[in-house]
């Protein structure tokens, strides 16, 4: 017992004081063994929580570092080209090119800040859904128009294979945010001359919307963690993998939170020559004609 080994027991049959002492020691040994096991279990759980806390803290520090870098880069570019505009030797064509670059970098910063604000609201639970029935096809048409110039510039073909009528139940603004983030993600990692395909299938009152893009697959070890808002791929990996699968995780983190908020599912799978991201939406409730009457 002094070595915390409670496996040995008193097996005597004596009825005197020694026998009573042996029985008492057996009972004490059992109680100590139970308490020790409970303590080990509690310590194990505490260690898990400590490890998780350390991991979250590390992820947050990495996230802040990455965001700081992403903000610093466009700011430096903007500053450089703004200083160039002050030069009296800049011709009109160069001036216009500088202005376009400044505008582009400003849009990148604006997008990052919006993602940060949305993620913060989702984490604090201040997002509220305005659930209603709406036409997903109309929302898709708006997305087509929004990304038309980008697709043309990058020479990417985007195919839409949606039902003629696709009434769904959800928050139109938040669903648009989900779709926009997934389309942006697909466009970012689709090369010139390749394609993106969006389709939807209905089964038992649920639509599954799939966004497929031709391009690099996602290694299995990253597939679960790409949805974590503060996850960043180990920097010991190649720069291409870090850029492709690490980033800030903001877009996919927002998708994950918004889909969950709708009570729906999401995921991804590797294809032969690319990746498919998907999420589900509830079909609009059917209105009984008898109820209308």
Give the chain's end-to-end CA distance (angstroms, integer).
82
For Cα atoms 246, 69, 149, give the angle at the middle one, nearest 5 degrees: 70
pLDDT in tens, 222-277: 888 888 765 544 433 334 433 444 344 578 888 999 999 999 999 999 999 999 99
Where does residue 18 rank: exposed (0-12), middle (13-18), buried (19+ CB within 10 A)? exposed
Give the residue, 107 or 229, on which the prediction is more confident: 107
Q: What is the rounded CA–CA span in Å between residue 61 and residue 253?
A: 17
Co-location of 217 and 274 in the same domain: yes
Residue 180: phi and psi, rounded to 5, are -60, -45
pLDDT band at 113 (very low <50, low <70, confident <90, very high): confident
Please state, rounded to an integer, the average pLDDT across all residues of the chain.
81
Judge contact between 147 and 183, C-beta under 8 A: yes
159: enclosing H helix or E strand: strand 157-161
Q: Specify the DSSP class assigned to residue 247.
A: S
* Residue 187 CB contacts under 8 Å (≥ 6 apart), including other chains: 147, 150, 151, 154, 156, 196, 213
Residue 70: phi and psi, rounded to 5, are -65, -30
What is the mean pLDDT of the segment spanning 54-58?
Answer: 78
Is 25 inside any structural domain? Answer: no
Co-location of 271 and 139 in the same domain: yes
Co-location of 181 and 244 in the same domain: yes
Give the residue, 265 or 63, on which the prediction is more confident: 265
The answer to which of 3-17, 185-199, 204-218, 254-268 has the lowest mean pLDDT is: 3-17
* Residue 199 CB contacts under 8 Å (≥ 6 apart), including other chains: 160, 161, 162, 209, 210, 212
- In the chain, the number of structural domains is 2
Judge contact between 283 and 169, C-beta under 8 A: yes
Q: What percent of the chain has pLDDT over 70?
A: 80
Of 277, 275, 181, nearest in space to 219 by CA: 275
Find the CATH number of the domain harbouring 75: 1.10.287.130
pLDDT band at 130 (very low <50, low <70, confident <90, very high): very high
Co-location of 139 and 269 in the same domain: yes
Give me the pLDDT at residue 16, please: 67
The answer to which of 61-65, 124-128, 143-147, 279-283 has the lowest mean pLDDT is: 61-65
Co-location of 245 and 215 in the same domain: yes
Give me the pLDDT at residue 253, please: 85
Give me the pLDDT at residue 238, please: 34
Which of 70, 94, 124 delimits the end of a domain? 124
Co-location of 99 and 212 in the same domain: no
Question: In terms of DSSP bridges, do strands 157-161 and 167-170 run parallel, antiparallel, or are they unpaired?
Answer: unpaired
CA 156 and chain centroid, separation: 24
Which of 124, 143, 169 delimits the end of a domain? 124
Co-location of 146 and 201 in the same domain: yes
Co-location of 94 and 195 in the same domain: no
Judge contact between 266 and 259, C-beta under 8 A: yes
Is 36 inside any structural domain? Answer: no
Is the pLDDT score of 72 beyond 80?
Answer: no
pTM of the predicted model as reported, rounded to 2 decimal places: 0.66
What is the mean pLDDT of the segment spanning 40-55?
Answer: 84
Alpha helices in the chain (DSSP H): 17-85, 92-124, 136-154, 172-188, 239-241, 250-261, 289-292
Co-location of 262 and 160 in the same domain: yes
Domain that holds residue 69: 60-124
Find the CATH number of the domain harbouring 231: 3.30.565.10
Co-location of 112 and 203 in the same domain: no
- 196: which strand partners? 158, 213
What is the mean pLDDT of the segment spanning 79-98?
Answer: 82
Co-location of 269 and 138 in the same domain: yes
Is the pLDDT score of 183 beyond 90?
Answer: yes
Give me the pLDDT at residue 8, please: 65
Is 1 inside any structural domain? Answer: no
Q: Residue 47: how many CA atoms within 13 Å on its side-chain side? A: 6
- 208: which strand partners? 201, 280
The answer to which of 96-105, 122-131, 220-229, 238-247 has the lowest mean pLDDT is: 238-247
Give me the pLDDT at residue 66, please: 66
């Amino acid at each position: 017992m002094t070595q915390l080994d409670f496996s040995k027991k008193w097996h005597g049959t004596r009825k005197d004081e020694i026998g009573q002492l042996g029985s008492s020691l057996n009972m004490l040994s059992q109680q100590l063994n139970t308490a020790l096991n409970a303590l080990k279990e509690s310590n194990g759980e505490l260690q898990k929580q400590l490890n998780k806390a350390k991991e979250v803290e590390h992820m947050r520090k990495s996230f802040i570092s990455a965001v700081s870098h992403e903000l610093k880069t466009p700011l430096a570019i903007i500053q450089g080209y703004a200083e160039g505009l002050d030069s009296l030797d800049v011709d009109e064509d160069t001036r216009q090119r500088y202005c376009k670059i400044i505008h582009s970098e400003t849009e990148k910063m604006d997008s990052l800040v919006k993602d940060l604000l949305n993620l913060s609201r989702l984490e604090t639970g201040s997002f509220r859904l305005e659930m209603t029935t709406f036409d997903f096809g109309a929302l898709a048409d708006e997305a087509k128009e929004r990304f038309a110039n980008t697709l043309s510039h990058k020479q990417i073909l985007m195919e839409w294979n949606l039902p003629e009528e696709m009434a769904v139940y959800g928050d139109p603004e938040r669903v648009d945010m989900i779709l926009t983030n997934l389309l942006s993600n697909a466009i970012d990692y689709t090369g010139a001359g390749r394609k993106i395909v969006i389709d939807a299938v209905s089964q038992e009152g649920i639509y599954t919307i799939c966004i497929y893009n031709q391009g690099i697959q996602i290694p299995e070890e990253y597939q679960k963690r790409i949805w974590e808002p503060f996850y960043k791929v180990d920097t010991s990996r190649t720069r291409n993998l870090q850029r492709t699968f690490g980033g800030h995780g903001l877009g996919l983190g927002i998708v994950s939170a918004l889909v969950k908020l709708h009570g729906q599912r999401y995921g991804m799978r590797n294809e032969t020559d690319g990746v498919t991201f998907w999420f589900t939406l509830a079909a609009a409730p059917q209105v009984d004609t008898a109820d209308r009457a």
